[in-house]
Amino acid sequence: MKDPDAIAIVHRVHANEDFNRTAQILLVLLNKAQHQCPGKNRCLYLEIDGHRNSGGGFDDDMFELQSKFMGEFLIQFLSCAETPLGAFQNPNPQKNEIPESLDVIKVDWPSSNGSDGFKPKPRF
């Protein structure tokens, strides 16, 4: 953590937590940190138990959580984050108006070659 005055938020994703559950837990933790220390920089440290595929990489849920959810959505409410896949730095000031929950919708990719023009919407 580069900012000694920042709030450290740590969450270990257990093997029984899926994407939806973990995303909601992270929002609760961010809201709690904002409530207890308004406006302080927040740094998230994420650990993940299990959630591995047969090749040894992360399963789809945890890969999406670390890459898309963290890198494209959650980072705006943090100053930085560290996950097993890598570190994220928010280049902008963190936002302090954190949603309390998300309506998460999973869209599966079509089994065809994608030539039908289908474009999945993000999960969050």
Question: What string of H, E and C letters represents the secondary structure of the chain?
Answer: CCCCCCEEEEEEECCCCCHHHHHHHHHHHHHHHHHHCCCCCEEEEEEECCCECCCCCECHHHHHHHHHHHHHHHHHHCCEEEECCEEEECCCCCCCCCCCCCCCCCCCCCCCCCCCCCCCCCCC
Q: Could you read off the pLDDT of 77-113 as tens digits, one per residue? A: 999 999 999 999 999 999 999 998 776 655 555 554 5
Quick one: pLDDT at residue 64? 92
